[in-house]
Homo-oligomer: A and B are copies of this chain.
Amino acid sequence: MKKNALSVTRENDFAGWYQQLISEADLAEESGVRGCMVMRPWGYGIWERVQFLMDQRIKQAGHENCYFPLFIPLSYFAKEAEHVDGFAKEMAVVTHHRLMKDEEDGLVVDPDAKLEEPLVVRPTSETVIGTAFARWVQSWRDLPVMINQWANVVRWEMRTRMFLRTSEFLWQEGHTAHADREEAMEETLNILELYRSFSEEVLAMPVIAGEKPENERFPGADATYSIEAMMQDGKALQAGTSHFLGQTFSKAQNIRFQDKEGQFQFAYTTSWGTSTRLIGGVIMTHGDDDGLRVPPLIAPYQIVVIPMLRDKPEDEAVLDYCQELTKELTQLKAFDETVRVKLDKTGAKASNKRWGWVKKGAPLILEIGPRDVSEGNVSMIRRDALYKENGKLDSHILAKGDFVGQAAGLLEDIQSRLHGEASERLNSNITRGFSEFSELEAFYKENKKYPGWLEVQWCRATGEELDQIEERLKKLKLTFRNVPQDAAPVDGNCIFTGKPAVERILVGKAY
Interface residues of A (CB under 8 A from B): 29, 31-33, 36-41, 44-45, 47-48, 64-75, 77-78, 84, 88-101, 106-109, 118-121, 128, 131-132, 135, 141, 147, 151-152, 154, 156, 167-168, 170, 347
Contact A170–B36 (Cβ < 8 Å): no
| Chain B contacts for A100, CB-based, 8 A | 88
* Highest count of chain B CB atoms <10 Å: which of A36, A106, A151: A36
Please, how many angstroms separate the alpha-carbon atoms of A74 and B109 in the complex? Answer: 9
* Cα-based distance from A250 to B410 in the complex (angstroms): 45
List 5 other contacts, CB 8 Å, given A91-B99, A95-B109.
Answer: A32-B131, A38-B66, A41-B65, A91-B98, A93-B99
CB-nearest residue of chain B to A121? B94
Minimum Cβ distance to chain B for residue A388 (Å): 34
Contact B92 A94 (CB under 8 A): yes
Question: 7 A-B residue contacts at CB 8 Å?
Answer: A31-B131, A38-B132, A41-B65, A47-B67, A48-B65, A93-B95, A95-B109
- Once the chains bind, are A36 and B91 in contact (CB under 8 Å)? no
Q: Which of B38, B99, B156 contacts A67 (CB 8 A)?
A: B38
A226 to chain B, nearest CB (A): 25
Contact yes or no, A107 B84, CB < 8 A? yes
Bound: A90/B99 CA distance, A: 8
**Is the CB–CB distance between A91 and B97 below 8 Å?**
yes
CB within 8 Å for A98 and B109 given contacts A44-B66, A170-B67: no
**Roughly how many angstroms separate A89 CA and B109 CA in the complex, as a whole number?**
10
Q: Are A98 and B90 in contact (CB under 8 A)?
A: yes
B107–A78 contact, CB under 8 A?
yes
* A67, A89, A93 pick with most chain B CB within 10 angstroms: A67
A50, chain B: closest CB distance, angstroms: 13
A31 in contact with B107 given A99-B84, A121-B121, A170-B67 (CB within 8 Å): no
- Cβ contact of A33, chosen from B40, B72, B107, B154, cutoff 8 A: B72
Report the minimal beta-carbon distance from A469 to chain B, rounded to whole angstroms.
29
Compute how far the CA of A71 lies from the CA of B135 in the bound complex, rounded to whole angstroms.
31
Which residues in B have their C-beta under 8 angstroms from that of A31? 68-69, 128, 131-132
Chain B: which residue is nearest A156 at the CB level? B97
A101 to B97, alpha carbons, bound, how many Å? 24
Contact B97 A109 (CB under 8 A): no
Known: A67-B44, A69-B33, A347-B141. A93 touches B88 (CB 8 A): no
A119 touches B33 (CB 8 A): yes
Which of B39, B96, B120 is A99 in contact with, Cβ under 8 Å?
B120
- Are A156 and B98 also in contact (CB < 8 A) when A40-B66, A147-B41, A168-B70 are? yes
Chain B contacts for A94, CB-based, 8 A: 92-95, 121
Cross-chain contact of A41 among B64, B90, B108, B120 (Cβ < 8 A):
B64
Question: What residues on B are CB-neighbors of A151 within 8 Å?
Answer: 152
Name the residue among A38, A65, A132 with the largest chain B CB count within 10 angstroms: A38
Contact, CB under 8 Å: A98 / B89: yes
Query: Which residues of the partner chain B approach A91 to less than 8 Å between Cβ atoms?
Result: 97-99
Q: Given the known A-B contacts A36-B71, A38-B66, A48-B65, are A107 and B88 also in contact in the complex, defined by CB atoms under 8 Å?
A: yes
Q: Which residues in B have their C-beta under 8 angstroms from that of A98?
A: 88-91, 93, 156
A45: B residues at CB distance < 8 A: 64-65
- CA A40 – CA B78 in complex, angstroms? 26
Given A94-B93, A98-B91, verify A69-B119 contact (CB < 8 Å): no
Q: How far is the CB of A435 from chain B (nearest CB, A)?
A: 44
Cα A84 to Cα B98 in complex, Å, equals 11
**Complex: A38 Cα to B37 Cα, angstroms:** 27
Q: How far is the CA of A60 from the CA of B77 in the complex (A)?
A: 44
CB distance from A93 to the nearest CB of B (A): 4
Q: What residues on B are CB-neighbors of A97 within 8 Å?
A: 90-93, 156
Chain B: minimal CB distance from A179 (Å): 13
| Chain B nearest CB, measured from A480 CB (Å) | 27
Q: How far is the CA of A440 from the CA of B168 in the complex (A)?
A: 52
Inter-chain contact B71/A92, CB cutoff 8 Å: yes
* CB of A182 to closest CB in B, whole Å: 20
- Contact A106 to B90, CB < 8 A, known contacts A66-B44, A67-B44, A73-B32: no
Q: Please name all residues of chain B whose beta carbon is closer than 8 Å to the beta carbon of A147 when the two chains form the complex.
A: 41
Q: How far is the CB of A7 from chain B (nearest CB, A)?
A: 21
Q: Are A92 and B66 in contact (CB under 8 A)?
A: no
User: Which single residue of chain B is at the shortest CB-CB distance from A348?
Assistant: B141
A78 proximity list for chain B (CB < 8 A):
106-107
Q: How far is the CA of A147 from the CA of B40 in the complex (A)?
A: 9
CB distance from A448 to the nearest CB of B (A): 35
A107 to B73, CA, bound (A): 11
